[in-house]
Amino acid sequence: MSSDAREGAEAGTSRRTPALRRSGNQHPDVPESGRRNRRYSSSSGVAVTSVAEWQADSSTRAWARQQGHLDRLGHEGLAAADVRWRAHRAGAEPRSAGAWAADWRSWVAREHPPGHSLPDSGPAKPSGTTPVKGHTATLLAAQLADMIPGAATVRVSLNDPKQVWPHPHAIVKDEAGKTMELGRTTARVAARWILRVWPEADWTRPHTFDLADATLTRSDLVAGRGR
């Protein structure tokens, strides 16, 4: 083939080859990670969502029935409480589903039924799981979720490895089961809060507080269930 023919063939081929689409970051002023749906990812790998998109799951609805909030507020009152809660949290950063559930429960537990006032809750009772105890545990879960964003469980014991004598100690894990790094003061405060709500527990054994359902269980029993 002559040089003129080859040049003509190559020119024809280049005209028929479609232009490649540009890949990579076409918006240099926006970080690559910033264009992803940040509402569904977090630095710890736990899925997060906005308050507008979070929905109460079956366990959260069951909690409202079991704790008497559905009877106390009624379906319409509970729906109104949900609307007020979402409006109040509208500007909040995305959180995990468990963190939103704990916060929602805390809000609902404080809601007043139409035309009525909540009875005086008084101090938490030292025995059994009562409505008052459940209310206090729900508030505690919300406080811990605010203090330690992303936390799912708090394991509490009196065996701080850095102390010779028994001392409150907490290990916090996220929903993926990964241990979260905490400052010593934060860990100690979390442990003491839980100890004060359940002074009757056998603290010679570690216990785990689940923020999603606001329950305290002996840690060896939690491990036995595969948590």
pLDDT at 85: 82
**Structure confidence at residue 179 as a pLDDT band (50, 70, 90):** very high
pLDDT at 106: 87
pLDDT at 170: 93
3-state secondary structure the chain: CCHHHHHHHHHHHHHHCCCCCCCCCCCCCCCHHHHCCHHHCCCCCCCCECCCCCCCCHHHHHHHHHCCHHHHHHHHHHHHHHHHHHHHCCCCCCECHHHHHHHHHHHHHHCCCCCCCCCCCCCCCCCCCCHHHHHHHHHHHHHHHHHCCCEEEEEEECECCCCCCCECEEEEEECCCCECCCCHHHHHHHHHHHHHHCCCCCCCCCEEEECCCCEEEEHHHHHHCCC
Mean per-residue pLDDT over the chain, rounded: 74
> Crossing angle, helix 69-88 and helix 58-66, to 10 degrees?
130
Indicate the residue type of 212.
A
pLDDT at 129: 58
Nearest to 152 by CA among 180, 128, 110, 183: 180
Between the two ends of the chain, the Cα-to-Cα distance in Å is 74
The pLDDT tens digits for 183-198 are 888 998 899 889 888 8
The predicted model gives 31-50 an average pLDDT of 55
Strand bridging mode 169-174 / 207-210: unpaired
List of residues 6+ apart from 190 with CB closer than 8 A? 144, 147, 148, 154, 156, 170, 172, 182
pLDDT at 27: 39
**Structure confidence at residue 227 as a pLDDT band (50, 70, 90):** very low
pLDDT at 221: 78
The pLDDT tens digits for 48-97 are 888 888 888 889 889 988 888 888 888 877 887 887 888 888 888 899 99
Checking if the pLDDT of 41 tops 70, the result is no
pLDDT at 87: 81
Report the C-alpha gap between 87 and 44 in whole angstroms: 27
Checking if the pLDDT of 20 tops 70, the result is no
Indicate the residue type of 204.
T
Nearest to 214 by CA among 136, 156, 109: 136
Q: Which of 45-49, 190-194, 206-210 has the lowest mean pLDDT?
A: 45-49
Higher pLDDT, 100 or 11: 100
